[in-house]
Amino acid sequence: MFEKNKNDKKPIIQTSGYNGSEPTRTCPHCGKDKPLSDFGYRKMNKDTDEVRNQSWCKKCR
């Protein structure tokens, strides 16, 4: 698990692997391992700039 830090504005990224050039993540919808660039990001909270990756890949969305 990640340690929580109130002042940490780094994106919260959930990954499951690494394909040699970027982290990968399994899409819960299609079940495929895809690079994070296939998921995209969304800003969760405009006050804290918290950023998370999307849970589904672009194709499933």
* Number of chain residues interacting with Zn ion (CB under 5 A): 5
- Residue 33 or 50: the one with the smaller Cβ distance to Zn ion is 33
- Rounded Cα gap, residues 24 and 34, in angstroms: 5
**At closest approach, how far in Å is the CB of 13 from Zn ion?**
17
Nearer of residues 27 and 36 to Zn ion, judged by Cβ: 27
Residues in contact with 33: Cβ distance below 8 Å, sequence separation at least 6, in sequence order: 16, 17, 19, 24, 25, 26
Please identify which residue in 9, 16, 22, 30 interacts with Zn ion, judged by CB under 5 A: 30
